[in-house]
């Protein structure tokens, strides 16, 4: 279905939440093929590979909120349409998600303005949209030490078990993003002193960093390399059920599935890859490490982002709840 049909996709995209909203009419993309990339392609091209999927998702939500399907001629977006998209995003999504959607709209309009597809006055009106207020409940959770011990215990024997133990050790011991984990090679873990360094060469925003880790990570790396064998290629590769190594790097989705499988075996509830980063940050902050240092280890550009990873307050709140007794017979 092309945008020229102007068929609303609101009820299909978010049933029960946006069905009442009238259709917006963003101008459709011209039917003739063009050799010059449009603003959306240029905007996505300037992002790091790990950020493109999220940005494309957010632009897709903008189009959904406008009631359209397919590529948009973003340079034809008007301030009134941007206001409508902002309002519907605020209504349909949590504040953080809605803010990210509006930020993506501003960003693609900025590119449209820079390449001459949008008038400067219209672009500056869109950039002047007020922020979306409110705070969402914190996402993710802290994985307690006992739960982490159970996850390690759930790793099997053989090469697959060695690989999974190293996967857990790097996620929880270095706080890496799953894309960063998948990009590691053998040369990216280097022995240093009593421990090791994990070298992230292609972090978010194309920023590299070096994360010191304990001796356990180095020991598990050597154990896994005994099964994998030395040489170039991905550090963590897929392992068949028969214990054969494929040589193919684990994907981000494979990392998520491995954690889900291990959590189910260990009986510790849902554990996601980003929960490891939250737990890593919380443990460091709990031990008095400066917030700026934690931000640098996580590869955050802002300490405000790092502060959002702190789950110590939730643990304290649960401990406080246990102190409250109610005069009721159960």
Give the catalytic positions in this structure: 177, 204, 274, 277, 300, 309
Torsion angle, alpha carbons of 285, 287, 290, 292, to 10: -40
Distance of alpha carbon 325 from alpha carbon 169, whole angstroms: 39
3-state class (DSSP) for residue 145: helix
Name the burial class of residue 194, with classes exposed (0-12), middle (13-18) and buried (19+) by CB atoms within 10 angstroms of its CB.
Answer: exposed
How are strands ordered across the β-sheet holding 209-213?
Answer: 189-192, 195-200, 209-213
| Helical axes 95-114 vs 120-127, angle rounded to 10° | 160
Other beta carbons within 10 angstroms of residue 141's beta carbon come to 17
8 Å CB contact between 173 and 214: yes
């Amino acid at each position: 279905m092309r945008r020229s049909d102007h068929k609303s996709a609101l009820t299909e995209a978010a049933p029960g939440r946006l069905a009442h909203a009238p259709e917006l009419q963003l101008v459709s993309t011209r039917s003739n093929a063009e050799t010059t990339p449009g603003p959306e392609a240029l905007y996505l091209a300037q992002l790091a590979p790990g950020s493109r999927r999220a940005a494309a998702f957010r632009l897709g939500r903008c189009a959904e909120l406008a009631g359209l399907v397919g590529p948009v001629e973003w340079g034809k977006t008007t301030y009134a349409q941007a206001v409508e998209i902002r309002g519907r995003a605020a209504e349909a999504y949590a504040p953080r998600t809605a803010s990210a959607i509006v930020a993506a709209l501003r960003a693609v309009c900025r590119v449209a303005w820079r390449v001459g597809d949008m008038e400067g006055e219209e672009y500056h009106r869109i950039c002047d949209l007020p922020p979306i207020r409110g705070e969402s409940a914190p996402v993710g959770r802290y994985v307690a030490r006992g739960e982490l011990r159970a996850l390690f215990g759930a790793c099997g024997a053989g090469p697959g078990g060695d690989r999974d133990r190293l996967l857990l050790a790097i996620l929880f011991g270095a706080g890496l993003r799953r894309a960063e984990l998948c990009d590691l090679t053998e040369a990216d873990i280097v022995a240093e002193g009593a421990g090791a360094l994990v070298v992230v060469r292609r972090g978010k925003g194309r920023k590299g960093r070096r994360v010191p880790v304990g001796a356990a990570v180095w020991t598990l790396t050597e154990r896994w390399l005994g099964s994998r064998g030395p040489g170039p290629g991905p550090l963590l590769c897929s392992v068949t059920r028969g214990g054969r190594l494929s040589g193919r790097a684990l994907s981000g989705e494979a990392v998520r599935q491995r954690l889900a499988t291990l959590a189910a075996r260990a009986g510790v509830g849902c554990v996601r890859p980003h929960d490891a980063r939250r737990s890593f940050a919380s443990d460091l902050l709990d031990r008095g490490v400066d917030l700026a240092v934690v931000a640098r280890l996580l590869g955050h550009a802002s300490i405000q982002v790092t502060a959002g990873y702190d789950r110590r307050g939730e643990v304290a709140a649960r401990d406080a709840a246990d102190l409250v007794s109610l005069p009721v017979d159960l």
